[in-house]
Chains A and B, each alone.
Chain A
Amino acid sequence: DGGITQSPKYLFRKEGQNVTLSCEQNLNHDAMYWYRQDPGQGLRLIYYSQIVNDFQKGDIAEGYSVSREKKESFPLTVTSAQKNPTAFYLCASSIESGRVNEKLFFGSGTQLSVL
């Protein structure tokens, strides 16, 4: 089955610790995105990547880092600099970000909580 796989489903972070959320897609999509969702809030864009080895900051990039070494993979690291990391994190992909009428496909999300 083609799709986007996020892991783990639940993740706990200790204070001062960096944690990495995995996102893998087998849709052969060029563009990938990370969103953060807080209860009762709209999704907010953290980072996005239009092509391998390239990525741009979204609206709330502080305290996060990403890499895009392979087309299929776009991991997100939540660093100790992110003081309020508890949220539901969603990864998405689209065929190309430059084409204006492409649907986004989402993974099933990772719930990150602070211990």
Chain B
Amino acid sequence: KQEVTQIPAALSVPEGENLVLNCSFTDSAIYNLQWFRQDPGKGLTSLLLIQSSQREQTSGRLNASLDKSSGRSTLYIAASQPGDSATYLCAVNYGNNRLAFGKGNQVVVIP
């Protein structure tokens, strides 16, 4: 059974620092990995999707890497801003768009 772990569960950083969020998964047989953002009481917004054949994806200040063989992905957020405060969820696609989710990294960026 695919299990997804996100470390750390929660972190606070001062504004301007870079954020590094980690995700690990137990079964390397995945189709893709997605990073989502969730604000309190809201739905999920897809940030980046990395295909299993890719090593990284970038969008603006966000960069996500994927090491499928070791079962790890990292989300980097450069020059963090207070508006980046949210929970970030990692999910792996193991077929038919069925996703296994981690519990999330809860981020607070301090002005």
Chain A residue, CB-CB nearest to B106: A40
Chain B 40-82 interface mask (CB, 8 Å, partner A; 1/0): 0111111001010000000000000000000000000000000
Chain B residue, CB-CB nearest to A43: B101
Question: A17-37: which have CB < 8 Å to B?
Answer: 31, 33
A42-B89, A109-B42 known; A101 vs B49 contact (CB < 8 Å) = yes
Interface size on B, residues (CB 8 A): 26
Complex-state Cα separation, A100 to B94, whole angstroms:
9
Q: Give min CB distance, B64 to chain A, whole Å.
A: 13
B24 at the binding interface (Cβ < 8 Å): no
Chain B residue, CB-CB nearest to A90: B43
Closest 3 CB pairs of A and B: A42-B101, A100-B31, A106-B43
B85 at the binding interface (Cβ < 8 Å): no
Q: Which residues of A contact B98 (CB under 8 A)?
A: 45, 48, 58, 97
One of B42, B89, B99 near A45 (C-beta < 8 A): B99
Q: Which residues of B contact A105 (CB under 8 A)?
A: 46
Q: Which residues of A contact B32 (CB under 8 A)?
A: 100-101
Contact A102–B97 (Cβ < 8 Å): yes
A-B contact pairs, 10 of them (CB 8 A): A6-B43, A33-B97, A42-B100, A58-B98, A90-B43, A92-B44, A97-B96, A106-B36, A106-B43, A109-B41
Question: A89-112: which have CB < 8 Å to B?
Answer: 90, 92, 94, 97-109, 111
Chain B residue, CB-CB nearest to A38: B103
One of B44, B95, B102, B104 near A106 (C-beta < 8 A): B44
A53 at the binding interface (Cβ < 8 Å): no
